[in-house]
Chains A and B, each alone.
Chain A
Amino acid sequence: MMDYGDAVACAPVTVPYVRRSDKAAAWWLGSALRKLLEVSGVKKTQIEGLCLSSFTLAPDGPAPFVQYVGLSPRFLEFLPFGGACGVLALRRAARAVQCCDAEVVACIAGDTNGPTSFQDLVAQFSSFSRDCVWPYGAGGPNQSFALITEHAMRRTGATREDFGKLCVAQRRWAQRNPLALLRSELTLEDYLAARPIAEPLRLFDCVMPCAGADAFLVMHRSRAQALGLPCARILATIERHNAFPEDPIQWRGGWAMDADALWSQAALGPPDMDVVQTYDDYPVISMLQFEDLGFCAKDDGAEFIRRNDFAPGGNLRHNTGGGQLSCGQAGAAGGFLGMVEALRQLAADARHALVSGFGMVNYDRGLCTAAAVLAR
């Protein structure tokens, strides 16, 4: 694959999450745009491109949104890919900048969360899910991931304690992150004793739906440097949809098809990553990413969790903002959370970061996978 030239990502911003909001999605997305301008010094008229992700923007789409916020972009992408949208926005924006389709691209994801937003989203997520999953108890994604988790536990020997170790470590990172909604102490005992949701999943395996937005900018390196913005180079990216459709149940994701290409293009490997941001809508998915992205062999995910320390001060800095499990899941912003956190870590002391995404659980499996290797 062709490299991304001097396109860089910078200016990570978050519109602080709240549990419930009576604002429309456009307020969250537009507020993120305002914050991007504030922190970067870029003028609104200089935003020539926009990559937008949201589940709750309807009936508006990307074109009505740019009218709402008074932008006139010459590059506009709508990326309704849930947990994969951060990497997808990055790679599209980077190509647009590299090819001069836009000088500066704003990448924004966010959603509101009214009293029934999440339930409405799940009920009408897709035709297959509406017709062939919802009538089976309406467990929503909890149900789908419970089945994937149960299978992965049998496959790898992973226990509730293993998944709890990931959740507890992320909560400890969240305690350092004022933007995380869940910062109270979480012990392994709390995790194990929480109320069951969809066995084997209990409360702290499940993300808390909330409202919020995350965003970043993509531009030429020279412009970022002139603005004084710490920026991240894009060493490699991958994207895959509906990988391995012949698998009877999801035991691997599209990363397994593309990880070799990712590391080959980056000319780096998993041990070179100073920080790792996996998509953690449920802890089992983080384990799948460790396996499929080559941090350990397939089926070795449980042992990998046991032999690494993911908490602050540990050997593997993973989901260092607390992840969605502690920050909350602000709809499509969940797909940006790892990206903005990686950019913050790279602006601090990390040299290399991996960001991985996983989105669109439909019928029986997640369809979209993506990953990016970034360097300061």
Chain B
Amino acid sequence: MTPIAELAAHAKAGELALQRCTACGAVQYPPRELCLSCLADALEWRVSDHEPGKVLATTTLHHSHDPQFRSRLPLRVGLVRLDAGPTTVCFLAEDCGTGTRVVVSAETDDADRAVLTAAPVQAGAR
């Protein structure tokens, strides 16, 4: 299975899977077949139901190149820096602005692709 298919398989089970290198410990996203840091072919999946992070930037899309999305516009999308290291492109739940502490979770879309969504950390929940 390709790394992106494995990401989707985990997402279908409600899990966010990041790759971790067993040789050097680097954590990476988007998934790939080698460690971006030491190039080892020794990657494992670090699986959780969500990963904490912080919103770096946000946008609201009013235009899409893909007709599948046009009925869903406007869509809120952002960049989230995970505490684990990588920056992820995410859909944003309500009340996610730049600087918001969030948790990022994964699910699959209509095309069975993994998609990540960031939601604000609930006060006192974490």
The interface of chain A, by Cβ under 8 A from chain B, is 118-119, 122-123, 127-128, 131-140, 142-143, 146-148, 150-151, 154, 195-201, 248-249, 363-364
Give the distance to chain A from B4, nearest Cβ to Cβ, in Å: 5
- How many of chain B's residues touch chain A, expressed as a range? 20 to 34
| Complex: A132 Cα to B18 Cα, angstroms | 13
CB pair B65 A135 closer than 8 Å: no
Question: Given contacts A147-B79, A364-B87, are A137 and B69 in contact (CB under 8 A)?
Answer: yes
CB pair A137 B75 closer than 8 Å: yes
CB pair B87 A249 closer than 8 Å: yes
- Among B59, B60, B63, B77, max chain A CB count under 10 A is at B59
Give the distance to chain A from B88, nearest Cβ to Cβ, in Å: 8
Question: Given contacts A132-B30, A147-B78, A151-B57, are A138 and B111 in contact (CB under 8 A)?
Answer: no
Question: Given contacts A150-B58, A363-B89, are A142 and B63 in contact (CB under 8 A)?
Answer: yes
B:67-123 near A, CB below 8 Å: 68-69, 72-73, 75, 77-79, 81, 87-91, 98, 109, 111, 113-115
Question: Given contacts A148-B57, A364-B79, are A198 and B66 in contact (CB under 8 A)?
Answer: no
| Complex: A118 Cα to B79 Cα, angstroms | 24
| Complex: A136 Cα to B60 Cα, angstroms | 11
| Complex: A142 Cα to B29 Cα, angstroms | 22
CB pair A147 B63 closer than 8 Å: no
CB pair B87 A198 closer than 8 Å: no
Q: Which residues of A contact B63 (CB under 8 A)?
A: 139, 142, 197-198
Q: Which residues of B contact A195 (CB under 8 A)?
A: 62
| Complex: A225 Cα to B64 Cα, angstroms | 50
Q: Which residues of B contact A200 (CB under 8 A)?
A: 59
CB pair A138 B89 closer than 8 Å: no
User: What would be 10 A-B contacts, judged by CB atoms less than 8 Å apart?
Assistant: A123-B65, A135-B111, A136-B115, A137-B66, A143-B59, A150-B98, A154-B98, A248-B56, A249-B81, A363-B30
CB pair A131 B30 closer than 8 Å: yes
| Complex: A133 Cα to B113 Cα, angstroms | 11
CB pair A199 B4 closer than 8 Å: no
- Among A131, A140, A150, max chain B CB count under 10 A is at A131
Question: Given contacts A150-B57, A363-B89, are A131 and B62 in contact (CB under 8 A)?
Answer: no
Asked if B40 is an interface residue, CB under 8 A from chain A, the answer is no
Q: Which residues of A contact B58 (CB under 8 A)?
A: 147, 150
CB pair B4 A131 closer than 8 Å: yes
